[in-house]
Structure 1
């Protein structure tokens, strides 16, 4: 028995769509599974302690939840998704662990079954859903179910990720948020999240700059990303249609119709001028999500 599973990265929130919008992109964590004499997990060019291995924690939780015996398999993990950068690395690991368990033990888990386990480790659907099903999704959950709707993402839009060499934990990025918000700020975000969705569907790209504005999380989280306002201005001045914090950060997401190389170069050069290492990736939508390949 031998197979390979890959699970995409994801950009979430997209500005005003806090905890709601999630976009799968073509950056992957790749898992190779084969029969072995004993159970083992190893990483390619990466050293992770067992107590810090989220994939292992979720996989063992699945075995415990279904009262199964541990199978003698070897799992080798190659990570393309950087940790703690707002690109859904945790959700990728969680979905991979559950999917691999499901395949090995032939459980036939439903989406709700998968999310029930996943929420023990990551309580928000906006990264989990795109990691599982791919594409651009509007997501929500209640006490019993996860609801999501996959919507075609415009092929004209280029997706740029500017990734500064700065780690931001989701926990840290959550703590910085206010516990109460003004009704005016709630209305502000409701209006713009709907505008963002309708702008993408109707391809009114000139509206995106206004649509990604937000008052619930970005005004607070941008303090964790040095020179965020400068990067935002540079990107817009270089032709970007939308600039936002991807997930909890530190990745800065950008949508553009053209000049993606120029935009990326200007942003990375600015960070470099401030002695901050960064990288850029020109991405596309992953439409399939987690799958055997």
Structure 2
């Protein structure tokens, strides 16, 4: 690493908090995402020279790299480099709660954490607006559907234009009660994407357009429509063979009237219940029907998105 060109950054410290996310939400493939109240929290301090110290606690402890290849460090370096700055020495302490490889946006959260850390460390030196943050995160993630809700919170619609990625944040109806069901096993996002066909029937595309539009209305205004609104023909069926228990439990949940979908690339399940009692019923169903251990996480919708705070002095 090269030393940062701005000497007064040494000693600057920031605290970053980033929510988990669930992308796709059934029909909204690569477009819709929801921020959930489960967080990775990090402290980042600028050190003298090019020293790098990485300490990971909680999820990923003893598993993720503790050098410059750590995704948060790479994201900070990318953000500095895009502003023509070298990466200074850093001390990074991460306290992670977002499960890895489970379809809850852990990589997107790490990328957003790095972008937000860089924003905080460069306060007064460089300015970043919402479009800048989304573009930087998307450059590393490859698509904006996870990083948009991680950055901005709530329900986000993300799309890509010739000028870069864009988003619209919406406030979710207070009656929506998300439940995430997390298995012990992981799922590779790359593998999940490789199972996706290059093209789909026209009728399936039309089906998903209608359901995606309905899903926005259901999440914002009419939670009673969530079961119909979460139907999908674009991606979940193609990926089912790679996560058979996820598929089986989703079918059982939906047959019982619960709006269950694959969370992101899986293998976790997201249930968009319309009230807490429905959420409790879904937990009981999974406990009785699952063949392996599943963790139940009743979560609120996160409305704030990623935050960064100065810890100077």
Asked whether the two chains share a fold, i.e. TM above 0.5, the reply is: yes
The answer to whether the 8 Å contact 2:208/2:232 transfers is: yes
Residue equivalent to 1:235: 253
Q: Confirm or deny that 1:19 pairs with 2:38.
A: no
The answer to whether the 8 Å contact 1:8/1:28 transfers is: yes
The answer to whether the 8 Å contact 1:164/1:251 transfers is: yes
C-alpha distance in structure 2 between counterparts of 1:201 and 1:119, whole Å? 25
C-alpha distance in structure 1 between counterparts of 2:171 and 2:190, whole Å? 31
Q: Confirm or deny that 1:42 pairs with 2:55.
A: yes
Q: Decide whether aligned partners of structure 1 residues 285 and 51 sit closer, same or farther in structure 2, where only a CA change above 3 A counts.
A: same
The answer to whether the 8 Å contact 1:7/1:132 transfers is: yes
- 1:162-204 Cα distance to aligned partner (Å, 9 max, x none): 1111211211111000001111111011011111112233315
Q: Decide whether aligned partners of structure 1 residues 184 and 97 sit closer, same or farther in structure 2, where only a CA change above 3 A counts.
A: same
Q: Choose the corresponding residue for 2:80, options 63, 84, 97.
A: 63
Residue equivalent to 2:131: 112
Secondary structure of the residue aligned to 1:126 is coil
Residue equivalent to 1:155: 174
C-alpha deviation, 1:131, in angstroms: 0.5
Secondary structure of the residue aligned to 1:17 is coil
Q: CA RMSD in A?
A: 1.9
Listed as ranges, the gaps of 5+ residues in structure 2 are 1-11
- 1:80-129 Cα distance to aligned partner (Å, 9 max, x none): 11111111111111111011112112221122222332223212111111
- 1:206-245 Cα distance to aligned partner (Å, 9 max, x none): x2212111111011122222223431244246552x1101
C-alpha distance in structure 2 between counterparts of 1:237 and 1:188, whole Å? 20
What is the correspondence of 1:81-100 to structure 2 with a 5 Å cutoff?
81-100=98-117
Q: Confirm or deny that 1:277 pairs with 2:293.
A: yes
Residue equivalent to 2:158: 139
Listed as ranges, the gaps of 5+ residues in structure 1 are none
C-alpha distance in structure 2 between counterparts of 1:119 and 1:197, whole Å? 22
Q: Choose the corresponding residue for 2:206, options 187, 204, 211.
A: 187
Q: Decide whether aligned partners of structure 1 residues 116 and 202 sit closer, same or farther in structure 2, where only a CA change above 3 A counts.
A: closer
Q: Confirm or deny that 1:8 pairs with 2:19.
A: yes
C-alpha distance in structure 1 between counterparts of 2:71 and 2:254, whole Å? 37
The answer to whether the 8 Å contact 2:131/2:166 transfers is: no
C-alpha deviation, 1:265, in angstroms: 3.2
TM score, norm. by length of structure 2: 0.85
- 1:257-280 Cα distance to aligned partner (Å, 9 max, x none): 223233213313422xx2x22211
The number of residues matched between the two structures is 288
The answer to whether the 8 Å contact 2:21/2:104 transfers is: yes
Q: Decide whether aligned partners of structure 1 residues 202 and 60 sit closer, same or farther in structure 2, where only a CA change above 3 A counts.
A: closer
C-alpha distance in structure 2 between counterparts of 1:266 and 1:94, whole Å? 35
The answer to whether the 8 Å contact 1:24/1:286 transfers is: yes
